[in-house]
Homo-oligomer: A and B are copies of this chain.
Amino acid sequence: MATGTRAVAKSDPAALIHLDPESGLTLQAQIRQRLVRLVLEEGSWPAGKRIPSSRELAGQLGVSRNTVVLACQQLVSEGYLLSRERSGLYINPEVRDPEVGFAHPAGKRQRPRPGSAGIAARRGPAQAGDAAGRSSGVPEFSFVDGPFDASLYPGADWREAVRLSLGAREIQDWAANDGSADDPMLIDEIRSKILPRRGIQAQPDEILVTLGARQALSLIAALYGGAHARIAVEEPGDPEARGRFSKAGSTLVHLPVDGQGMVIDARLDSCTAVHVTPSHQVPTAVTMSMPRRRRLLQRAAQLGIAVIEDDRVPESNYLAHAHPALRSLDQEGNVVYFSSLGRVLGSWLRMGFMVAPATVIAAARELRSQSAGHPPLNNQRAVAHYLALGHYDARAKRLAQEFRRRWTALRDALNHYLHRYVVTSPSMGGTAFWIRGPEDLDAAAMVGESARRGVALEPVDRYFATGEHPANCFRMGVSAIPLEQIRPGVQKLREIFMDLGAGGSERLESSCGRWLRGDALKRTVTGATLRLETVYGDPCTIELRKDGSMVGCAGIDGEDRDTGRWWVDGDLWFRHWDRWAYGEPSAYYAVIDGSKVKLFNLDKRLVDVIGIEPPAG
């Protein structure tokens, strides 16, 4: 097996790479695999230290310098190594970032602070895509979360891993398999490359490879379900999980979700197990807080019940460190964890895994044998190579980077275009927002009308299992929509909101309050302070200074700031931020109504209502 020949005298860099002429891998693949291992493992090469020159490495290994250079170039382009001009290659300290979760692609210095999006969006990289280029039947703007758009599929990296898995030796290994064992190389790679990112340590007999996370869920539902089982589930929650547990004959007990995740209360006491999505709650995307995590584990331990940690969408926290998985916090062996590899590679691969105490894994393995058997071993080996070569990490980073850009762009666009209409649930990452519209919004009608007009939103009825649920909520995600489509998609959504008249379709002429015109407008806004909340709940203030300058300050600590100019021309109030609101000027009619100012666009339709305070003193 490829992992059997692992090198290395830790202290002597000269002996760090040992090539195996018997290996089925090409020299370049071997070099790449070993370098990735050295880069990721503490104690091999010190972070920040220059790695041996390509000439030295080539000499020590007895391979051509070109082979070494190619392997290193690839690692530089993927961020494992840093190149310093005229000085050589260094290990990127960030790849050993001790925090749990995917390493932050842009590095710590560039990490966005809370609320950094401010009142209005940053300048997007491009304008609306060419809608005409899309085939009919496919929505022009798809905000349905889950599927990937074509730009995110794996390519040459996956093909390389598959080629490596096709050796004659590999097929012989597989045939020796008795039908219940997984590929030991893949188990090893999951243990060493995936689980540490979630803070989880596990022995090989505590891991089972599954046909996507879906099979893991089915096996768990069969193991923990049954006529006497009472399973606590989130409400709103994942209908697939509910379905599996119900199908297994279990009674469901619905626990609500708040801004900290699943609410842990006395309803849990009667349960035999609890299913929970702590990373990004399905469907609200809320990340379970640390106190709530501790409380859940403590209570489960007292009750002696299993916690089923559904990590199909592992936490991608764009605003702070990711939280450790419940499984990594659990001292009692109560947590059964499962996740998917399809989130990085694509669901067509049907590859997931579960982590649990060895006795639970043994029972799940037996059940797996009875239903469909182990996932195809050729795919297990291909994924193992994909991990061993570091492609999985690199791709997870690229995806997280791209999703962060899209997520931020959607948040900014919602704030800019739909401030009057929506709020989102508190969320620090992931790929989807839970959105609450005006009280009188008929979200089902909204989703239908949007679909007809080329904007696909996700309805949320199916996430609710009990009694009444809000009719004004829907979901928007970014996994399937290219970055440049997000702004025009949300812009179109505002038109739909206006046309449907949700939240009232007030017009300037008939607005209640006092229409500020000309000098009255100028007098009122000069020196005033505007106060509002972003759609994601952060406070924001805007000072309209007498000299025509404008200072914006948003975020819990006011950490997101921008400056700009404002002026009055006739009956219109103009503002022009340096960065916010895409750095573009806007013009509004204004109506004062108590302590609020209503802003109308050039069509004289209401677009925003915000607080206004007169100049101090």
CA distance A171 to B218 in the complex (A): 26
Question: Once the chains bind, are A243 and B175 in contact (CB under 8 Å)?
Answer: no
Question: Once the chains bind, are A175 and B372 in contact (CB under 8 Å)?
Answer: no
Q: Of residues 124 to 157 in A, which have CB atoms within 8 Å of B's CB atoms?
A: 147-148, 150, 153-155
Question: Once the chains bind, are A372 and B370 in contact (CB under 8 Å)?
Answer: no
CA distance A553 to B114 in the complex (A): 94
Question: Once the chains bind, are A168 and B148 in contact (CB under 8 Å)?
Answer: no
CA distance A102 to B210 in the complex (A): 34
Interface membership of A346, Cβ < 8 A:
yes
Closest B residue, CB atoms, query A369? B214
Question: Once the chains bind, are A373 and B166 in contact (CB under 8 Å)?
Answer: no
Q: Of residues 358 to 374 in A, which have CB atoms within 8 Å of B's CB atoms?
A: 370-374
Question: Once the chains bind, are A348 and B153 in contact (CB under 8 Å)?
Answer: no
Interface membership of A378, Cβ < 8 A:
yes
**Chain B residues near A296 (CB, 8 Å)?**
none
Question: Once the chains bind, are B166 and A147 in contact (CB under 8 Å)?
Answer: no
CA distance A370 to B148 in the complex (A): 22
Interface membership of A565, Cβ < 8 A:
no
Question: Once the chains bind, are B175 and A155 in contact (CB under 8 Å)?
Answer: no
Known: A347-B179, A348-B378, A379-B376. A371 touches B171 (CB 8 A): no
Interface membership of A247, Cβ < 8 A:
yes
**Chain B residues near A346 (CB, 8 Å)?**
171, 174-175
**Chain B residues near A211 (CB, 8 Å)?**
211, 372-373, 376
Q: State the Cβ distance, A188 to closest chain B Cβ, in Å.
A: 18
Contact of A370 among B155, B158, B247 (CB under 8 A): B247
Known: A215-B372, A379-B378. A175 touches B159 (CB 8 A): no
Closest B residue, CB atoms, query A171? B153
Q: State the Cβ distance, A4 to closest chain B Cβ, in Å.
A: 16
Interface membership of A162, Cβ < 8 A:
yes
**Chain B residues near A212 (CB, 8 Å)?**
372-373
Question: Once the chains bind, are A175 and B158 in contact (CB under 8 Å)?
Answer: no
Contact of A372 among B172, B177, B350 (CB under 8 A): B350
**Chain B residues near A163 (CB, 8 Å)?**
163
Question: Once the chains bind, are A348 and B376 in contact (CB under 8 Å)?
Answer: yes
CA distance A173 to B350 in the complex (A): 15
- Sort chain A's interface into a size bin: 35 or more
Q: Of residues 272 to 328 in A, which have CB atoms within 8 Å of B's CB atoms?
A: none
Closest B residue, CB atoms, query A179? B347
**Chain B residues near A347 (CB, 8 Å)?**
175, 179
Question: Once the chains bind, are B375 and A350 in contact (CB under 8 Å)?
Answer: yes
Most buried by B among A163, A247, A379: A379
Interface membership of A231, Cβ < 8 A:
no
Interface membership of A550, Cβ < 8 A:
no
Contact of A371 among B154, B159, B218 (CB under 8 A): B218
Interface of A, helix, strand, loop or mixed by DSSP: helix
**Chain B residues near A375 (CB, 8 Å)?**
350, 376
Question: Once the chains bind, are B148 and A175 in contact (CB under 8 Å)?
Answer: yes
Question: Once the chains bind, are B155 and A168 in contact (CB under 8 Å)?
Answer: yes
Contact of A162 among B153, B162, B350, B371 (CB under 8 A): B162
Interface membership of A18, Cβ < 8 A:
no
Question: Once the chains bind, are A177 and B373 in contact (CB under 8 Å)?
Answer: no
**Chain B residues near A379 (CB, 8 Å)?**
376, 378-379
**Chain B residues near A512 (CB, 8 Å)?**
none
Question: Once the chains bind, are B378 and A349 in contact (CB under 8 Å)?
Answer: yes
Interface membership of A40, Cβ < 8 A:
no
Interface membership of A244, Cβ < 8 A:
yes
Question: Once the chains bind, are A348 and B377 in contact (CB under 8 Å)?
Answer: yes
Question: Once the chains bind, are B158 and A218 in contact (CB under 8 Å)?
Answer: no
Known: A374-B350, A375-B376. A147 touches B175 (CB 8 A): yes
**Chain B residues near A349 (CB, 8 Å)?**
376-378
Q: State the Cβ distance, A346 to closest chain B Cβ, in Å.
A: 6
Q: State the Cβ distance, A518 to closest chain B Cβ, in Å.
A: 57
Q: Of residues 194 to 235 in A, which have CB atoms within 8 Å of B's CB atoms?
A: 210-212, 214-215, 218
Known: A179-B347, A348-B174. A215 touches B153 (CB 8 A): no
**Chain B residues near A215 (CB, 8 Å)?**
371-373
Question: Once the chains bind, are B168 and A214 in contact (CB under 8 Å)?
Answer: no
Question: Once the chains bind, are B153 and A370 in contact (CB under 8 Å)?
Answer: no
Known: A159-B166, A244-B370, A371-B372. A348 touches B214 (CB 8 A): no
CA distance A53 to B17 in the complex (A): 54
CA distance A128 to B432 in the complex (A): 66
**Chain B residues near A175 (CB, 8 Å)?**
147-148, 150, 153, 346-348
26 pairs across A/B with beta carbons < 8 Å? A147-B175, A148-B175, A150-B175, A153-B168, A153-B171, A158-B166, A158-B171, A171-B348, A175-B346, A175-B347, A175-B348, A211-B372, A211-B373, A211-B376, A214-B371, A215-B371, A215-B372, A215-B373, A243-B370, A350-B373, A350-B374, A350-B376, A376-B376, A376-B379, A378-B379, A379-B379
Q: Which residues of A does B touch, CB under 8 Å?
A: 147-148, 150, 153-155, 158-159, 162-163, 166, 168, 171-172, 174-175, 177, 179, 210-212, 214-215, 218, 243-244, 247, 346-351, 370-379
